[in-house]
Each structure stands twice: as C-alpha cells, then as structure tokens.
Amino acid sequence: MFISDIVKVAPSYPFAFTFCLLFRVLQTLRHLVALNESLKKQESEFRVHCKEEMSRLQENINKVKMSGGEDVGDSEEMVRSGDLKPINN
C-alpha cells in the first residue's frame, strides 16, 4: 500500500491510516537496521584486511632494511601482477 492510497482512506478509517503508517515506518526502520548491520560487517572486514596488508607491507619494509635496500623481488612481483609499472631506463 502506498501513502497516496492511505491518504484516500484516511478520513473514513483513521485507525487503518495510523496502522498502515506505523507499519510503513517499521518496515523502513527494519531496512535501515539491516543496512547498518551490513555496513558494520563490511567495515570490520575492511579493517581486518587493512591490518593484514599493513603487516605484509611492514614485513617487506623490514626485509628491505635488513638487506640494505637491495631487495627488488617484491617489486618484480608487483610489476608482473600489474600493481606497479616498470621503469624503463
């Protein structure tokens, strides 16, 4: 039932109007709660992914520091995967 339909019957059925309006509000509220829960889950998964990525990148930084900055293995892998463009000299 749409709001326009409710408004048409409102004068003769005030209880029905109130009930339908409250039902519509409840539906909207349930939808918004579900959307909020979904967004919270996505945010949590994103944070976990970011922590994993940060850890991986920190390991790469430490490897490069330990090797004196000569480690290019990860860079070559990034070029192969398309994440990094090669530098042509």
Query: Is residue 59, in this structure, part of any structural domain at all?
Result: yes
The pLDDT of residue 20 is 81
Q: Report the predicted TM-score, pTM, of the whole model to 2 decimal places.
A: 0.52
Comparison of pLDDT for 20 and 12, the residue scoring more: 20
**How distant, in Å, are the alpha carbons of 10, 11, 21, 25, 26 from that of 6?**
6, 10, 8, 13, 16
Query: Is residue 88, in this structure, part of any structural domain at all?
Result: no
Per-residue pLDDT tens for 17-60?
788 888 889 999 999 999 999 999 999 999 999 999 999 999 99
Enclosing domain of residue 28: 3-81
The pLDDT of residue 89 is 46
Query: Is residue 18, in this structure, part of any structural domain at all?
Result: yes
Query: Is residue 29, in this structure, part of any structural domain at all?
Result: yes
What is the number of structural domains in the chain?
Answer: 1
Please name which of 78, 77, 61 lies closest in space to residue 69, comparing C-alpha atoms. Answer: 61
Query: Is residue 86, in this structure, part of any structural domain at all?
Result: no
Query: Is residue 43, in this structure, part of any structural domain at all?
Result: yes
Query: Is residue 24, in this structure, part of any structural domain at all?
Result: yes
Query: Is residue 61, in this structure, part of any structural domain at all?
Result: yes
